[in-house]
Amino acid sequence: MTEVQLFSTCLAEEFFPEVNDAAATVLERLRLKVTPVRGAFCCGQVAFNEGFRDEALDLSRRFLNSVEPGIPIVVPSGSCTSMLKIFYGDLLADDPALSAKAMAIRPWVFELSQFIVNVLKVKYIGARYERAVAYHPSCHLMRELGVRDEPMTLLSAVAGIRIRELRDREECCGFGGMFSVKFPHISASMLEDKLARIRESGAEVVVANDCGCLMQIGGGLSRAGDKIEVRHLAEVLAARQG
Amino acid sequence: MAEIPKARDFFESSRAAVSDHELRRKLESASARHLDHFAEVKAEFPAYDDERDAAHRIKTGAIAHLDELLIELKSKLEARGCKVFFAEDAAEARGYIVELAKGRGAKNVVKGKSMTTEEIELNGALERAGIDAVETDLGEYIVQLRGERPSHIITPAIHLSKEDIGQLFTDKFGIEYTAEPEKLTAEARSRLRTIFLNADFGVTGVNFAIAETGTLVIVENEGNGRLSSTMPETFVAVMGIEKVIPRLEDLSHFLEILARTATGQKLTTYTSFITGPRREGDLDGPREMHVVILDNGRSAMIADPVIREALNCIRCGACLNVCPIYRRIGGHAYRSVYPGPIGSIISPNLFGSAAGYLPFASTLCGACKDICPVKIDIPRILLHLRWKESAGEHRLKWPRAIERARRGARRFAKMARHPRTVRALGKLAAMVLKPFAHNGYLRRIPGPFGNWTKYRDFPRPRPHQRPAPGPERPPG
Amino acid sequence: MAELHKIIASVKDALGVGARSNSHDAAASAPVPVAQSAHRAALASTFARELEAVGGKFLGILTPDEVTNRIVTLAGEIGAKTVALGQGAVSDMDAIGEALERADFRIVRTIPVADTERAAMRERVANADIGIADADFAIASTGTVAVVSNGDRPSSLTLLPPASLVIVQIDRVMANLAAVLAELGPEGVAANRLTLITGPSRTADIEKRIVLGVHGPKSIHVIVVWPRDD
C-alpha cells in the first residue's frame, strides 16, 4: 500500500482533532497508508509571521527532521502548506543544509484537497452529507497555492449536499494568525461582514480548509449564538451520512 | 516636519475608524465602483497579463541598472535645457524648491497632484517661507481646504461624502450649499482657472521618466498636471529615483496597465510628454524647468533584494481598494503619507523604523499581490519587514496588549520545539478549561491572547489521539 | 547640497549587495504588433466607438471639403461665439477661419508669440468657446488623439476652452498606443510637448462620480478626414 505522511498542524491538533481523524479516514479510504508526523507540532508560521526568525527556524528544523522526502506530506491547511512550500524558502535562505532539505520536500508537500484532486486525480470519494453548505476559501490556499477550484470540485461530488453561494467569498475572514489578537477590532470588523454573508447564504454549515478560519468564523458564530456550524472540508469528505 | 507615526496611535486611530460606519460606507462604495470598472476593462483586454509581465520585467531591469539610467537621464534632461537636482532626503528637496521659489519671487504656486511632494511636505515648507501653494487636483484641493492630507493615493478625498464637500465649500467660499458633484466641480474649476492663469510657479509629480529621451511623462484625468506644467514661467517636476525607465518603447506596457488598475480606464484622459522647457515661439510651457530627483531612503531599499521589489510600484492605488483593512480604516488611520498595503512597505523605509508597526497590520491575505499591475509580492515583503523589525535594535514600542500577545506567540513557538511537552500542556489546558466551556467554546480566555474573546468565542482545547492509525514515525 | 555622485554611489552600493537581475536590454520587449491588414476605415470605426465610450463625440469620416462646413455647423450647435485655432499640420486653418468669420464667429488665431504677449494671448484662448487643433495621430483601441504642441499649435487650444475639436487624418489612426509611440519615435516624442488626449477632462474625486470638464474641456469632438488624393 502506498504511504502518505499526514501533518496535523498545531491548531487542528489542539482545537479540531476530528479534522485529523477525518483527513486520515479520507486518505485511508483512498487506499493510502497514513503515517502521522508526530515529531513536529507546528510548522513555525506563527513565529515567522511575527518576525521571530530564530524560533521559526527551530521549528522548521524540527519539522524537516520529522518528515521524509519521497513520500507525500499531506496537510489539512492551506496556510501551513504555504509555509512549508513557499515561506520556508525565505526563512531558510541563510542555512544551506536546511534549505536543501526544504527544497527536497517541497514537491512532496500538498494541501489535502490539492492532493486528492491534482495528485490522486480523484473527485468522488463516496461521501454523503445532507446539509446546506457554504464554502469559504482561505487566503493562502487561494493566493499562495493557487488552489481555487479543488475544494468545490470535491464538495460538488458529495451526495446529498446542497451548496450555497457565499457572496464575496474571497474576502479574508480576518483571522490572520496573531493579527486577530493584535488588532482584534479590525479582525472583528472583517469577521462581522463574513458572518453576514454566511447568514444570507442560507447555509447550515460553513466549510473551509483551514482551522484558523474555522476558529475565527466558529468563534464569531458562537458569540452571536448562531446555530450555523463550521466544518473542515475533510470532515465533510469523511461523512457517510447526513 | 514629518509626523513620526507610533504603533499606539495607529491602534487608536484604527479603532476609531472601524466604528465609523459612514467612513466605511464611503470607502466600500468607492472601492466597489473601482473594482467593477477594473473587472470590465481587464475582461476586454486579453493582453493584460502579458503587459503585467512586461512591466514587471522592465521595472526590475531598470532598478537593477538604476545608477546608469540616472546618469543617462540627467544628461538627457540637461541637454533638453532642464536643471537637474538630486536630493538625498526630503529636507534637501524642500530646501531646493523653496529657495528656487523665493529666488524667482514666486507669488502663486500651483501644484499638480503628486504623492512625492506630499512625502517631502512641500506645502508646509512653502507656507513657512510665506508662499501660498494651491493644490489643483480636485481631490487634493478639497483636502487642502480642510487642512488634511490625502487619504488615498489616487482618490485623495475618498473619505469625504459629497455632502461633506458641499458644506466645506459653503464654509470656505460662502456659496449656497449644494451637494451636487457637477456644481461643486464647476465652482472649483472657476476658482482654480483664475489661479492658473496668474500662476508663476508650478510643481507636479512624475509618473515615468524616459532616460533615452529625457522626457517626463505625467498621467492624469483633470488637466491640473497640464496646466501646472504649462502656465507658470517656472516649472519643477519632483520624482523619486525609481521613476526612470530605460526607453520610450518600454512606456506603452506601463500605460496599458496603469489606468486600467488605477481607475478602470483604458488610458487616462491626459498623458503629457514633457521634454524640456518651452521652445522659441511657444505659447505654452515654462521658461525654465527643474527636475528634482529624490532618494529619501529609496537607495537603501535597493540594497535589500526583497524590499527592492517595492520600488516597482507605479502608484496605481489598486492595492488600497482591494485591501480589507484599508477599506475598513481608511488612509488617515495609517498615519503615514502612503497608506494601504504598499504604504505599509514604503513608509517604514522612507520615514524610519517608527513606522515599523505598519507591516504587522495585515492578515497577509494577498489580495494586494493578486491585483498589483507590476506583480509586487506585497505579503512576502511585509513578512520580511516584520522579521527585520523584530530582529532590529530599535524595537518598536507596542501597546501593552500587543506586546503581550507577541511575547505569548514567541513563548508558544519556543515550547512547540518540544512536541511531547506541548502536547501534555495541551491536554492539561483541555482539562482545566473544560468546565468553563459552553457548546465547545469559551466566552473568555485568560493570558496573552485574551484579546481574542473581546470580540468572539474561543474554541475549547480538546486534543486527543486517534486510535491506532499505524506506527508512529519517531522524531529525527 | 546633494550631488549626483553621492546618490549614484549609494545606488551603486545598494546594487552591489544584491546581484543585478536581468539586464535592461533583455528587459525591453517588442511593442504589441500592429494589425497591418486592418483597414483604415475599420480602425477609424474602432476609434469612433472607443472615443464615444470615454464621452467624446465622433463627427464622422469626412472629405477635406466637408471639414470646413462641419466645423461651422458644430460651432453653431454648441452655441459658440468665439473660436480659437492655430496653424494646421494638415488642415487648412486659414480657410476654416475665414469660413467661421463669414458665419459671424469671432476668431482667435494663435501664432508664435513673444514673452510679453503670452498672457494676453492665453487669456483670449481661455475665453474662446472652442479650440480647434490638428492631431498627429489617433489610437483606435483607446479612443485617444495624440497632439504634438508647438508655437503654431499650442497646448492651450486643447486645454483652455470649454470645448475642443481635433482633426486627424485617417491614415494616422493607429491600432494602439505602442504603434503611435513607435511611429513618433524617440525624436518625435522629444521634439516638443506631446499630449495624449482620451476624452473630455474628468474627475471621480467626489464619491467616485464622474464629472466632466474639471480643468480642461468638458467636451471633445473629433473629425477623421480622408486624404485629399483618395
Model confidence pLDDT, tens digit, residues B267-282: 999 999 999 999 988 9
Report d(CA B396, CA B450) in Å as an integer.
Answer: 21
Cα dihedral: B16, B18, B20, B23 (round 10): 120
Q: Is residue B465 part of a domain?
A: no
Consecutive H or E run containing C99: helix C93-102
Q: Is residue C130 part of a domain?
A: yes
Most A CBs within 10 Å, among B384, B454, B466, to test the A interface = B466
Contact B270 C195 (CB under 8 A): yes
Residues of C in contact with B287 (CB under 8 A): 115
Q: Is residue C31 part of a domain?
A: no
Q: How close does chain B come to C214, measured CA to CA in Å?
A: 5
Q: Is the pLDDT of residue C37 over 70?
A: no
Q: Which domain holds residue B412?
A: 400-459
Q: Is residue C16 part of a domain?
A: no
Determine contact: C56 vs chain B, CB below 8 A. Answer: no
Residue A110: which pLDDT band, with cuts at 50, 70 and 90?
Answer: very high
Contact B363 A174 (CB under 8 A): yes
User: What CATH number is given to the structural domain containing C113?
Assistant: 3.40.50.10420
Q: Are chains C and A in touch, 3+ Cβ pairs below 8 Å?
A: no
ipTM: 0.96
CA geometry: angle A67, A68, A73, nearest 5 deg: 70
Contact B461 A14 (CB under 8 A): yes
Give the cell for residue B204: 507636479
Task: Write down the pLDDT at residue C145.
Answer: 98
Q: Are chains B and C in touch, 3+ Cβ pairs below 8 Å?
A: yes
User: What CATH number is given to the structural domain containing B189?
Assistant: 3.40.50.10420
Contact A220 B369 (CB under 8 A): no
CB pairs under 8 A between B and C: 293
Which chain B residue has its CA at the smallest distance from A182's CA? B402
Q: Is residue B277 part of a domain?
A: yes
Q: Is the pLDDT of residue C148 over 70?
A: yes
Report d(CA A168, CA A189) in Å as an integer.
Answer: 15
Contact B360 A181 (CB under 8 A): no
One-letter amino acid at B57 equals: R
**B286, B419: one domain:** no
In whole angstroms, what separates CA B444 from the centre of its chain? 38
Which chain B residue has its CA at the smallest distance from C142's CA? B266
Q: Which domain holds residue C189?
A: 37-225
Backbone angles phi, psi at B373, to 5 degrees: -70, -20
Q: Is residue B357 part of a domain?
A: no
Task: Write down the pLDDT at residue C26.
Answer: 38
Model confidence pLDDT, tens digit, residues B159-194: 999 999 999 999 999 999 999 999 999 999 999 999
Mean pLDDT score of chain A: 96
Averaged pLDDT, A64-72: 96
Consecutive H or E run containing A6: strand A2-6
Q: Is residue B392 part of a domain?
A: no
Q: Are strands B234-240 and B201-205 parallel, antiparallel or unpaired?
A: parallel
Most B CBs within 10 Å, among C21, C207, C210, to test the B interface = C207
Q: Is residue C14 part of a domain?
A: no
One-letter amino acid at A116 equals: I
For the four alpha carbons of A148, A154, A157 and A158, in that order, the dihedral sign comes to negative
Q: Is residue C9 part of a domain?
A: no
Q: Is the pLDDT of residue C31 over 80?
A: no
Report d(CA B289, CA B85) in Å as an integer.
Answer: 11
Asked whether C130 and C78 are in contact (CB, 8 A), the reply is yes
Domain boundary, last residue among B247, B267, B296:
B296
Which chain B residue has its CA at the smallest distance from A227's CA? B439
**B64, B197: one domain:** yes
Q: How close does chain C come to B249, measured CA to CA in Å?
A: 7
Cα dihedral: A203, A206, A208, A211 (round 10): 180
DSSP structure class, residue A159: B
Contact B226 C113 (CB under 8 A): no
DSSP structure class, residue C165: E
Identity of the residue in B402, B441, B450 whose CB atom sits nearest the CB atom of A222:
B441
Task: Write down the pLDDT at residue C20.
Answer: 52
Mean pLDDT score of chain B: 93
- Integer angstrom CA distances of residue A64 from A38, A52, B35: 12, 18, 42
Number of structural domains found in chain C = 1
Q: How would you class B224 by CB atoms within 10 Å of its CB: exposed for 0-12, middle for 13-18, buried for 19 or more?
A: buried
Residues of A in contact with B391 (CB under 8 A): 51, 53
Q: Is residue B157 part of a domain?
A: yes
Number of structural domains found in chain B = 2
Model confidence pLDDT, tens digit, residues A179-227: 999 999 999 999 999 999 999 999 999 999 999 999 999 999 999 999 9
Task: Write down the pLDDT at residue B261.
Answer: 95
Q: Is the pLDDT of residue B401 over 80?
A: yes
Domain boundary, last residue among B254, B270, B296:
B296
Cα dihedral: B6, B11, B13, B15 (round 10): 180
All residues at 6 or more sequence positions from B329 whose CB lies less than 8 Å from its CB, including other chains? A186, B13, B14, B17, B18
Query: Chains near A, with 3+ CB pairs < 8 A?
Result: B
